[in-house]
Amino acid sequence: MRPIRPTDSPLLREIYVDAIQTQAPQAYSPDQIRAWATLALLPGLLDRTLEEGQGWISGIDDGFAIRYPANRLSMLYCRGRSSRQGHGSALLQAIEGDAQRMGIQRLQTEASLLSRPMLEQRGWTVIAPEQFMIAGVHFVHFQMEKTLS
């Protein structure tokens, strides 16, 4: 595992798209997958998070997690080939540890249908479901939080 560098943006976008295209079919429609994956390609949309966020890359290029701003888990994605191998849990542990060392007492996130179960297993709590649209396509995600000890 290594810290994310500002120059990692192309790699992070590649992992993001791979994760969605390979894992989302178990919970999302083809239209949802297309709309969601396209976000990685839109100019300016993810730039600030990818360049200013703090986080980690697992393995050589298996997955990544970013906090942005400091009290928010903004992204957690693993390639399909690397799914269910502990990368997501290790990334989440690193993100939570970083936040604790910075004195952050609570992390928040918006979890997909795919990430919600893992987050709940690691002590995150669902606050509320939230409906939203991407390119005219309906989605639901879950506002979640975790109090850090």
**CB 46 within 8 Å of CB 57:** no
Question: What is the side-by-side strand order in the sheet with 72-78?
Answer: 2-3, 54-58, 63-67, 72-78, 106-111, 137-147, 125-134
Tokens, residue 74: 């903004």
Q: Where are the beta strands (DSSP E) in the chain?
A: 2-3, 54-58, 63-67, 72-78, 106-111, 125-134, 137-147
Length of the chain: 149
The mean-pLDDT minimum among 45-49, 64-68, 87-91 falls in: 45-49
Q: Is the pLDDT of residue 55 over 80?
A: yes
| pLDDT of 27 higher than 90 | yes
pLDDT at residue 78, rounded to an integer: 94
Say if 58 falls within a structural domain.
yes
Domain of residue 30, CATH code: 3.40.630.30
Q: Domain residues for 24?
A: 2-104
In a domain, 144, yes or no: no
Q: Establish if 116 belongs to a structural domain.
A: no
Per-residue pLDDT, 79? 93
User: Is 121 within the bounds of a domain?
Assistant: no
Question: What's the whole-model pTM score?
Answer: 0.92
- Work out whether the CA dihedral 59, 63, 68, 72 comes out positive or negative: negative
The domain tally of the chain equals 1
With respect to residue 13, please indicate whether it lies within any of the assigned structural domains: yes
Q: For residue 141, is it within any domain? A: no
Question: What value does the mean pLDDT take over residues 79-97?
Answer: 89
In a domain, 12, yes or no: yes
Interval 104-146: pLDDT, tens: 999 999 999 999 999 999 999 999 999 999 999 999 999 999 9
Instruction: With respect to residue 135, please indicate whether it lies within any of the assigned structural domains.
Output: no
